[in-house]
Structure 1
Amino acid sequence: MLSRRKMLGRAGAMTGAITAAVAAASVSRVAMAALPEPVLQTRPDTMPPLVPGTGRPYNPVVTLNGWTLPWRMNNGVKEFHLVAEPVVREMAPGFKAHLWGYNGQSPGPTIEVVEGDRVRIFVTNKLGELHSVHWHGQRLPNGMDGVTGLTQPGIPPGKTFVYEFVARRPGTFMYHPHADEMVQMAMGMMGLWITHPKAKHPLIDEVDRDFCFLLNAFDIDPGAYTPKIMTMLDFNLWAWNSRIFPGIDPLVVRKNDRVRIRVGNLTMTNHPIHLHGHEFLVTGTDGGPTPKSTRMYEVTTDIAVGQMRQIDFLADEEGDWAFHCHKSHHTMNAMGHNVPTMIGVDHRGVAKQITRLIPDYMVMGERGMKDMTEMEMPLPDNTAAMMTGTGPFGSVGMGGMFSVLKVRADQPRGDYRDPGWYPHPPGTQAYEWTGALAEPARSPADGGGAMPPAAKPAREVEVQARKPTGGHGGH
């Protein structure tokens, strides 16, 4: 693994001559004379923004639990080197997955350029099958679009192709395979592409902090390491940049910072992404910045499959604010769908005995799912608890697509280090009431109706519902 200092040092350096094998389309022989040395990263931490040392200046993004790919300038062209390869990704502390990605990590590194840049990307295939890279949302020559069999031959194992085009418009984009897509994307192959405006843009405001991440999902059995690539809907791990809570870093900002968050969705379903304590504007999609006449303040934005959303807001409320997908099953980890409901039944002693014989046995707790975080149930090796994470007041009881926006008045400008938990000023926090209480008003058990039934049952029957053990297959 390379240190950040070494990465920055190599961003503009020329490396030794390694001949490129094949070009994806018409690229000059001079351009293929030497490859930039690939820069690798295996740490799962959020890396500091990569301030451009060459080319036109811009305010760089911060990739949540990720990093930005350095480049070199070669006769006015920005050159990058992506390596498609198997990787090991720590999804949460103590839980690692065997995935596919780029340059040592899944998702791959973020690529940042400026509108008008001519960009050349060398893609080396270290997988055991054909590969190609599609530059999702980009305007480019058809032969550079990266669709195996349609616009180019697939990149054979061990070979390198070259993609070259001009970044024609600013915005938030993605890259991902268009070769054996179901397998390669299910294994974690994807990355972000950010094109910054070359000058002040009437629809793109300047911000102090600019975060980005991708939504992805996996189906990995408890105790296993490799995703099940044939899964279509019943995923058990909902991730941001291949990380699950409590492995997702917080988004740390200074009070009154203007903040931008860019989110792309490469899962198999939509995600309503919700921010606590603030309102935001949807200021961009993968089609570009949104017209100001279409913007309205929201606290949740739904991101469909294959879409990007860019949100802007003023971080003017101090605190530790939850930031998550609002689909409740997407804020859990390693959840089986055929789990029987046992609400109201004290089965903790029995469950501990059964798990000694059946390690992956799990049922909903008598008080709901969250009390499972208190039961200290044994887990298989290399897995994550369904709901976990410890806050200043105990178990957070969340997993999956969940993080925290940390807003602090005393956070130094440009400092992304975690400031710790927010100290609530006196009188600003919920507390236990020990005084007298009036009887609360309750809704009557019997419902009314404009048209009463002609006949009522001879005796009242209380319906008892139980979740079917067959899972979600019949929904």
Structure 2
Amino acid sequence: MMNRRQLLGAGAAGATTLVSSRAWGQTLNMGLPEAAQMDSAATQPPVRPSSGPDYNPVVTLNGWTLPHRMNNGVKEFHLVAEPVERELADGMTAYLWGYNGQSTGPTIEAVEGDRVRIFVTNRLPEHTTVHWHGMILPSGMDGVGGLSHPGIPPGKTYVYEFDLIKSGTFMYHPHGDEMVQMAMGMMGMFVVHPRDPAFRPVDRDFLIMLNAFDIDPGTYVPRVMTMTDFNLWTWNSRIFPDIDPLVVNRGDRVRVRVGNLTMTNHPIHMHGYDFKVSCTDGGWVPEAAQWPEVSIDIPVGAMRAFDFTADHLGDWAIHCHKSHHTMNAMGHDVPTFIGADKTALTAKIRKHQPEYMPMGTAGMADMGTMEMPLPDNTIPMMTGWGPHGPIEMGGMFSVVKVREGIGAEDYSDPGWYENPPGEQAYEWTGKLPDFASNDSPETRLTPRPASKG
């Protein structure tokens, strides 16, 4: 069965309706390209180019690519700014604002040298704009409301048209009532592929947008006035354990592009590999200047891409290294109970609330296994199960799954990796060597107390 996007993509090459091109003028709906929609929260397969230079399309994690039509040599896209319902995770839905039925919005892909015409229809209750973050274009197309052009009123459609003069990874978002509209989820990625397919090619090209929300448990609408205390840290508006894995065939050359439109920086760390930083939103890093990392900090309003060769089989974590960003529904006023004796308190509370479960006296890991009642429309602070028990993560976390024999077009989850014999940590039940014992005279871990007498 083909979804609506696949049907549109199959017919995109032959669609050639004539459209009037005014920089930001109103247009008639009869001349618009069809506005593709997507209601699935799963990663959609990449869409191969149907016209122009060849390129290896990106894979938007838990997202999709917006189809286009060709009109007299111009690539035409249609974005619809509108209220959307986004499934952040199984059992939790947010009422957001986004594009084409989704937050984050669909990825736009084109090629260096293309001329693009992007129709933006506003179905929000207030005016909006679209800023093409990091792109070189005419001032009147830059999308800053009141400066570049008037805001797009509700019910109206404006046109942005410009040439793509450089390749790279860019973003799009409103520059009208920006605080509210971005806090409600209005953002997306714009990838411009090099015109020369031989320039820095990769086999798999993943795209991640970092965004964040403050949604109280039991509610659906983000709190737009939050400045720092967000409780849901997301990749493409999804939270672990419902962020899809990055599935890779052994030996593939892989690129991961990460954009950040949250209110803080994010050190993205990948296990099992080192990688080279290959691109910023300012442009490609010359190969001689690329630097090796295992973590790369993504500043606010910036993009970083890194490349690696998938030569280590296994399931490898990839996540933000700020520990609170790998948790869900964080309560910012929760006291620390480590070391406290809650026995008497628990007995008293259970007289009034029999299902009360004391937690936190030995750390918070018990939240990974406990199934306590939760308010509607929320998920536990840490959750997710792996092959050996609870993973105790949430938020900005996923897994890079490197396997043998993954087909070029296969991005389906291959399941959990089975470690070969002798390649998994295990419990030691024998005698410890002397150097590992604190009673050994060779041990100098801590100062020894002076002997008495």
TM-score, with normalisation over the residues of structure 2? 0.91
Q: Which residue of 1 aligns with 2:292?
A: 297
Instruction: Give the aligned partner of residue 72 of structure 2.
Output: 75
- Rounded to whole Å, the distance in 2 between the matches of 1:125 and 1:395 is 43
Tell me if structure 2 keeps the 8 A contact 1:339–1:362. no
Q: Secondary structure at the match of 1:172?
A: strand
CA–CA distance in structure 2, aligned partners of residues 442 and 379 of structure 1: 48
SS in 2 for 1:124: strand
Describe the shift of the 1:142–1:349 C-alpha distance in structure 2 as closer, same or farther (beyond 3 A): farther
Q: Does 1:8 align with 2:5?
A: no
Q: Are 2:413 and 1:424 aligned?
A: no
**1:103 equivalent among 76, 100, 103:** 100
Partner of 2:60: 63
Q: Is the 8 A contact 2:16 2:69 kept in 1?
A: no
How far did residue 357 of structure 1 move?
A: 7.8
Give CA deviations for 1:248-301 in whole Å, capped at 9, x if unaligned. 000000001000000000000000000100111100001110123321211000
The answer for the alignment partner of 2:446 in structure 1 is 444
Letter in structure 1 aligned against 2:446 = P
Q: Distance in 2 between matches of 1:253 and 1:396?
A: 21
How far has the Cα of 1:10 moved from its partner? 4.0
Q: Deviations 1:9-37 (Å, cap 9, x if unpaired)?
A: 343353889x88x944489x9x9971001
SS in 2 for 1:9: helix
Work out whether residues 317 and 398 of structure 2, in 8 Å CA contact, stay in contact via their aligned partners in 1.
yes
SS at match of 1:53: coil
1:198 shift after superposition? 0.5
Say whether residues 1:182 and 2:184 are aligned partners.
no
CA offset at residue 368 of structure 1?
1.2
Task: Give the 3-state SS of the residue equivalent to 1:96 in structure 2.
Answer: strand
Q: Which residue of 2 aligns with 1:312?
A: 307
CA positional deviation for 1:367? 1.9
In 2, Cα distance between equivalents of 1:219 and 1:162 = 32
1:394 and 1:267 mapped to 2: Cα distance? Answer: 31
Is residue 149 from structure 1 mapped to residue 150 from structure 2 by the alignment?
no
Q: In the alignment, is residue 338 of structure 1 matched against residue 333 of structure 2?
A: yes
Structure 1 residues 173 and 430: CA distance shift in structure 2, 3 A: same
Query: Compared with structure 1, are the counterparts of its residues 363 and 235 closer, same or farther at alpha carbon in structure 2 (3 Å cutoff)?
Result: farther
Residue pair 1:84, 1:126 contacting (<8 A) in 2 also: yes
Tell me what 2:246 maps to: 251
Distance change (3 Å), C-alpha of 1:347 and 1:406 = farther
Kept in 2: contact 1:15–1:37 (CA 8 A): no
1:373 CA displacement: 1.9
CA distance in 1, matches of 2:328, 2:216: 11
Instruction: Tell me how far apart the structure 1 counterparts of residues 283 and 68 of structure 2 sit (CA, whole Å).
Output: 24
CA distance in 1, matches of 2:11, 2:447: 70
- Partner of 2:182, secondary structure, is helix
1:40, 1:104 within 8 Å by CA — same for their partners in 2? yes
- For residue 118 of structure 2, give the secondary structure of its aligned residue in structure 1: strand
Deviations 1:168-207 (A, max 9, x none): 1000000000000000000000000000001156xx4110
With over 3 angstroms needed to count, the CA separation of the structure-2 counterparts of 1:351 and 1:147, relative to structure 1, is farther
CA contact under 8 A between 2:368 and 2:391: conserved in structure 1?
no
TM-aligned CA deviation for residue 234 of structure 1: 0.4
Deviation of residue 334 (structure 1)? 0.5
The 3 A distance-change label for structure 1 pair 49 and 353 is farther
- The answer to whether the 8 Å contact 2:114/2:164 transfers is yes
Question: Which whole-Å deviations, capped at 9, do the CAs of 1:389-435 have from their partners, x for residues lacking one?
Answer: 01001100000100000000122233111100001100000001111
Aligned pairs (5 A) from 1:10-89: 10-14=11-15, 23-25=22-24, 34-89=31-86
Paired residue secondary structure (1:135): strand
The superposition leaves residues 87-127 of structure 1 with CA deviations (integer Å, 9 ceiling, x where unpaired) of 01111111110010000000100000000000000000000
**2:16 and 2:70 in contact (8 A); partners too:** no
- CA change 1:372–1:156 in 2 (3 A) is same
Superposed counterparts of 1:450-469, under 5 Å? none
User: Is the 1:339–1:364 contact (alpha carbons within 8 Å) kept by the matching residues of 2?
Assistant: no
Moved more, 7-16 or 259-268: 7-16
2:191 aligned residue: 194
Q: Percent identity?
A: 63
1:356 Cα deviation from its structure 2 partner: 11
The answer to whether the 8 A contact 1:324-1:331 is kept is yes
Q: Do the aligned partners of residues 157 and 177 (structure 1) sit closer, same or farther apart at CA in structure 2, a change above 3 Å counting?
A: same
Unaligned runs of 5+ in 2: none
Work out the CA distance in 2 between the residues paired with 1:73 and 1:313.
Answer: 34
Give CA deviations for 1:35-85 in whole Å, capped at 9, x if unaligned. Answer: 001000011000000111123221100000000000000000000000000
Find the residue that maps to 2:306 and give its secondary structure.
strand
Cα RMSD of the aligned pairs, angstroms, is: 2.6
Offset, 1:384: 1.2
CA contact (8 A) 2:368 2:384 kept: no
Kept in 1, the 8 Å contact 2:250–2:311? The answer is yes
Deviations 1:117-152 (A, max 9, x none): 000000000000010000001110110000000010
Equivalent-residue separation in structure 2 for 1:24 and 1:353 (angstroms): 69
SS of the residue aligned with 1:131?
Answer: coil
- Does 2:263 correspond to 1:268? yes
Aligned AA for 1:7? L
1:209–1:257 Cα contact (<8 Å) kept: yes
Alpha-carbon separation, structure 2, partners of 1:92 and 1:115? 36
Unaligned runs of 5+ in 1: 448-475
Which residue number corresponds to residue 461 of structure 1?
none
